[in-house]
Amino acid sequence: MYVLLVICVAVVSYLLWIKYIYYLQNLAKSRKQLLKCMLCGNKQFNSPQTSDLSRKVRALFLTAHPDDECMFFAPAILGLLELNASVHLLCLSQGNYYNQGVQRREELLDSCAVLGIPDSQVTIHDSKELPDNPNIEWSISVASSVILKHTRAHSINLVLTFDGTGVSGHSNHTAIYKAVSYLGSTGNVPDDCSLLSLSTISVLRKYLSFLELPISWLLPSDLCFIVESKGHYQAKRAMLCHRTQLLWFRYLYIWFSRYMFVNTFRVIDQGPKNLKVY
């Protein structure tokens, strides 16, 4: 009986702690973290007024396949939109591994519409050089050149993408990180552009759903976005747009993946400008 009481108290305390983190890590806190990240890689971004910040942010999410945007980045996309940032998406393949590219293109547009990104701000790059295939290493030169061109064309000042492990370890995800960090280290991103990578966490933490939040909150990160039930519902609806991908385990993913609730990012270091140009 005593053990049961202790377990109940522990569970309730843990849930209250999560509630308290939701209270602490509110949108105002994310806005402050965002300003700090922007100042990190962007000497021109010197507005002390955090309230003005959001309108100046032109964020680009870089993904490899249709469905990456909602499976991995939904909390950040929803958070930035709520902060009134202009959000763009560049998906570097149309997801043609099983010859479903045409359907997946439509699914991506539907998913982005649910998340709040208009069609005009979604670009799906489709080339033989960057195929949807985990067994083919993408050329860093080709990927970085596509990314740089898009970043310049849309005056992007914040790039968000995978980290070196790519959440799932997919080689197309990690190739994007390599391309972005190459651009950053050689100083070939626009002067006013900051780079962020989505932190990959262990498999055990990954499937703890929102219960993982205290761990993410305690560990260091430069930017954190979390969503409550309304945001999770929106992310779930976006994921359901990817009809060709809805195998049974995707439903488990929707309910148990911590990435559907929490995104934490680290700043990608940038080197001196224009060391080498492709």
Which residues of the shown chain bind Zn ion in the complex (CB under 5 A)?
64-65, 68
CB atoms within 10 A of CB 140: 17
Q: Return the number of the residue (57 or 70) whose C-beta is nearest Zn ion.
A: 70
Least distance between Zn ion and beta carbon 236 (Å): 18
Which residue number, 54 or 63, has a Cβ lying nearer to Zn ion? 63
**Sheet containing 122-124: order of strands:** 122-124, 86-91, 58-63, 158-162, 194-198, 262-267, 223-226
Q: How far is the CB of 55 from Zn ion (least distance, A)?
A: 31
Cα dihedral 92, 140, 190, 127 sign:
negative
Cα pseudo-dihedral 43, 44, 50, 54, rounded to 10 = -120
Work out how close the CB of 206 gets to Zn ion at its nearest, in angstroms, rounded to a whole number.
15
Write the DSSP symbol of residue 174. H
Minimum distance of Zn ion from residue 198's CB (angstroms): 12
CB of 6 to Zn ion, least distance (A): 43
Nearer Cβ to Zn ion, position 50 or 123?
123
Which residue in the shown chain puts its C-beta closest to Zn ion? 65
**Closest CB to Zn ion among residues 45, 265:** 265
252 close to 180: Cβ distance less than 8 angstroms:
no
In the complex with Zn ion, the residue whose CB is nearer, 65 or 88, is 65
Q: Which is nearer to Zn ion, 34 or 64 (CB)?
A: 64
Residue 133 beta carbon to Zn ion: minimum distance, rounded to whole angstroms: 11
Report which of 165, 164, 162 is spatially closest to residue 203, judged by C-alpha positions.
165
Of the pair 68, 212, the CB lying nearest Zn ion is at 68
Long-range contacts of 122-128 (CB under 8 A, 24+ apart): 122/88, 122/89, 122/91, 123/88, 123/89, 123/90, 123/91, 123/150, 124/66, 124/91, 124/93, 124/94, 125/90, 125/91, 125/92, 125/93, 125/94, 126/93, 126/94, 126/96, 126/101
The distance of closest approach from Cβ of residue 63 to Zn ion in the complex, given in angstroms and rounded to an integer, is 7
